[in-house]
Each structure stands twice: as C-alpha cells, then as structure tokens.
Amino acid sequence: MLTFKKFEKEDIKKVRPYMGGSSPICTKAVGVEYMWSDYFRTEIAFYEGGVVIKDSFFGEELFALPRGEKRDEGVRLIEERVKEKGEELVFNSVDDEELAYLFSRYPVVEIKSHRDYSDYLYNAADLSEFKGKRYHGQKNHVNKFMKEYPDFSFEPFGEEDLPEIYAFLKEHEALSERTEEEKTEYRCCEKLLSAFRELSLLTAMIKIKGKIIAISVGEVMGDTLIIHIEKALPSYSGAYPTMCTLFARKYSQGLLYINREDDSGDPGLRTSKTQYHPIALVEKRRAVCRFSRRMTLPTLFTERLVIDSFSSSDMPFYASLATDDERNRFWGYDYKADLGEQEASPAYFERVLTADEGRGVCYSYKIARADGSPVGEAVLYNFRADGSAELGLRIASNFAGKGYGREAFRAVADEAIKRLPALHARCFKENVPSEKMILNAGFSLVREDEEMYYFIRKA
C-alpha cells in the first residue's frame, strides 16, 4: 500500500535518482517537480526499490511512471490505489519508452496532450551562437545591448545573492497587473530558489551599474539544459536575447539541447519562443490506461424501447449517428481522431465496434423503438481497475426531445450496476438535459472541472 506525503525540500536528494527519462520533458527534471509542487499538490510515496510521484489537478490524480529495477512493483501499487478509490489510472508526462511499456501492459491507452503545455526544444549550439540569417534579429539585439551597456556584467549568483534576486522578482512582477496564473508562476520561482542548495541550480544575472536587470536559472538533465527561470527588465532593450545566449554559452557546452519549457498558451511567450526557432515541440502526454472487462447485458425492454446489440443491418444508422458533428459536440469523442485515411463508412464503424468488444474495452448497445427502428446508442466503456465503468448515451437528432435518452439511460444503468461495483458518467456543464438524465438514473455528482460535471452510481 502506498502512503503519500507532501514533496518537501528534504526529499529532493532521495527523489533525484528516479527522475529523468528517454525524453527531455521538463517535468522529468527534479527542479521543475519541486518548483511547481505547491500548485500541483505534489506528493511522493516510497516503496522498496522506487518512488511514486503523484500530482493532483482538478480533482484528478496524475502519476509519474515509476522508474528503476522495480517499476512493475510501483505500477502494481498504483493500480491497487486507483482500484480501491474507483478512479481512472492516469500517467503524466509520458515519454516514448514509457508509452511502449504502457501499451505492453494495458489493452487500451488513451493519449492526451495540449499544445499550450508542449516544451520548446532548441539546438544548444543555435542559442549559444545565434549564427545564420534566421537569428539575425536576435544577434542585432544582443549587439545593440552590448554597445549601449558596455559595462554590463554577466555572472553566476549564489545563495548569498538570493535577497537581491527575490527583490528583482518582486520588481519584475510589479511591472504590470498580473493574472492569477502569472502570480502563481512568480511564487513558484521563489519556491525553486528556496531549494538553491538542494537542487544545485545553474544561475546567472546581468547587472548594470550594480543593478540586476536580468536573471536565468536552470539545471542539466541528461544531454539537455532545462531553463526554469528567465526574466529581464524590458526597459533594457536586448536584455532577454543577451541573457539567453550568454546562459546557453556558459552552461550548455557538451550538451545537445536546450529546453525553454512551455508557453502556457500566452500569446506573447508563444511569439517569443517561436522566434528562437525550436527544432521540436515536446509533448507532455497524459496516458489514460483502460482495463478490459468481459460482460454481457440481456435484451432490455422499457415502456417504449428495446435495447440490444447492434447488427450489420444497423450500421448505416450507426454511421449517420457517429458522423453527425453538430449532434455529437457534447459526445466527448470525435470519430475523426482515429479515422485516418479510411472512409467513415458503415463497414468501418462495424469493424471498430467489433474490435472494441473483442478486446473487452467498450460495449455499444442499440436503442430502438418497439418497431425496431434505431434511435440511439448506449455505451459502457473506460473500465477501471476496480471493475467499474463509464456509461454514455447519444440519441439521433431526429429523435431528440422525446425522452428516449432518459428512458434508455436509466434502463442500462439499472442493469449494468448489477454486474459492476460502480458506474461513472460525465457531461459538459452546458448540456443541462444530459445532467438531468444522469441524475434521474440515480447518479450523484462527485466533482467538476472547468468544462464538465462528473457523477457516480454505486452498487
């Protein structure tokens, strides 16, 4: 059993050997993990031969995949935890090697990533030298800075300089009105620096006439220099590119890459980081691992409906339902994500349904009127470690508003809960009819995030 505790400064030395990986994702650096540990409510649990790192975000637990010789034991303990809690098994910041491991262990691995949180990766030599036409602008800014401020100094700062560094950060924060997200980032910078000695940080500051006008802080992970902090006073034109190239020149010798982390969706940061010509955007992928479950439901009869398996003759209806983009905007899944070069034909969807049921990861049921004409689909999917599953439902547009969804959802839920320890459901907050349908079927609201409500019904 895993016993978690808050990730504290004194844990850094014990956690460090288990960090890193096959990809230069910044969140695999111990400095980043500690820097943002308050924001993500990071906790750690040691077991014999390894450590499990867990973040919490919008009520969801996200695990770093354990490393070391006893990885399987760490993963087993994580599975035991999510099984006990009836939650999804989600691994965060998964690199290629880890993804291969997950695919070998689970029948279904759903990958999620977001452009806003992809790291910008650069050739170390490019930022050290600013060579070539594409860096003409940055080179000019650096030359102008050095000409205008010939007496500037560039030097590392130590623990004894931290009071000055904290004062600089306060000054920088006060330059404009900051969003809550920006304020959080400044607090994270201060937290990183509070572990100066434990993290062995690489540092630099630029001073003009004794005043700090720019700082940068980073650490090395494998063949990559990770930049955690880079801030400069904008009134000193050219300070940012000057700090960027001097820091790279000093600390990236013998390294291949520099990771300047993500832009968090900030338009200004995106423009700036793109102008430095990254060679790649490194995804911070989340992997949601699905468990399989073999199960069958009998044919269900309600006052107006018959709920049973789809047959080949139903596939034209199913294809029409699945490709109705307007109707499916609240479905939570777009068929185009997996379609590729294939045609969205009835035959294609029949293959998908057969394959999913064959693996025991997803079961689709036809909702039909008494005369046999199909009106929608109910689906049991997202099987979890405790054997619970998620229930979803969609009704074709020409049958909407007749109460078919509420009638069918309740019937499937009542039957499925006889075989499962719990059922989960979710809906977009703006989808009020879906919310009412779920609550009417005996589900209770358990949490919410910015977009969705999440429900559970226990056996």
Q: What is the 3-state secondary structure (H, E, C) of 193-225?
A: HHCHHHHCCEEEEEEECCEEEEEEEEEEECCEE
Q: Is 146 helix (H, G, I), strand (E, B) or coil?
A: helix
Sequence ranges of the domains in the chain = 5-113, 119-261, 291-458
pLDDT of the residue at 83: 87
pLDDT of the residue at 415: 97
Q: Where are the alpha helices (DSSP H) in 40-195?
A: 71-85, 96-105, 124-129, 136-148, 162-173, 180-194
Q: Residue 441 — φ and ψ, nearest 5°?
A: -90, 15
pLDDT of the residue at 128: 96
Strands of the 43-47 sheet, one edge to the other: 5-6, 43-47, 50-57, 60-63, 89-94, 285-290, 108-112
The neighbouring-strand residues paired with 380 are: 363, 391
b/e map 390-420, b = 16+ CB within 10 Å: bbbbbbbeebeeeebbbbbbbbbbeebbeeb
pLDDT of the residue at 333: 79
pLDDT of the residue at 235: 96
Q: Quote the CA–CA distance of 217 and 197 in Å, as a whole number.
A: 13
b/e map 219-244, b = 16+ CB within 10 Å: bebbebbbbbbbbbbeebebbbbbbb
pLDDT of the residue at 275: 94
pLDDT of the residue at 328: 87
The fourth-level CATH superfamily of domain 291-458 is Gcn5-related N-acetyltransferase (GNAT) (3.40.630.30)
Per-residue pLDDT of the chain (459 residues; tens, 9 = 90+): 899 999 999 999 999 988 887 789 999 999 999 999 999 999 999 998 899 999 998 778 999 999 777 899 999 999 999 988 888 899 999 999 999 999 999 988 889 888 999 999 999 999 999 999 999 999 999 999 999 999 999 999 999 999 999 999 999 999 999 999 999 999 999 999 999 999 989 999 999 999 999 999 999 999 999 999 999 999 999 999 999 999 999 999 999 999 999 998 889 899 999 999 999 999 999 999 988 888 889 999 999 999 999 999 999 999 999 999 988 888 877 888 888 889 999 999 999 999 989 888 899 999 999 999 999 999 999 998 888 999 999 999 999 999 999 999 999 999 999 999 999 999 999 999 999 999 999 999 999 988 999 999 999
Q: How far is CA 289 from CA 167, 286, 361, in A?
A: 45, 10, 11
CA atoms within a 13 Å half-sphere pointing along the CA-CB vector of 107: 18
Identify whether the C-beta of residue 243 lies closer than 8 Å to the C-beta of residue 204. yes
pLDDT of the residue at 292: 84
Q: Quote the CA–CA distance of 338 and 336 in Å, as a whole number.
A: 5
Range list of β-strands (E), 233-369: 257-259, 280-282, 285-290, 300-301, 305-309, 362-369
Q: Quote the CA–CA distance of 278 and 442 in Å, as a whole number.
A: 51
The fourth-level CATH superfamily of domain 5-113 is Gcn5-related N-acetyltransferase (GNAT) (3.40.630.30)
Give the list of residues 6+ apart from residue 298 with CB closer than 8 angstroms, or none.
Answer: 415
User: What number does CATH give the domain 119-261?
Assistant: 3.40.630.30
47: its two tokens: 């077991």
**Structure pTM?**
0.76
Evaluate whether 119-261 and 291-458 have a shared fold. Answer: yes
Q: How far is CA 430 from CA 127, 425, 450, 455, in A?
A: 46, 15, 11, 15
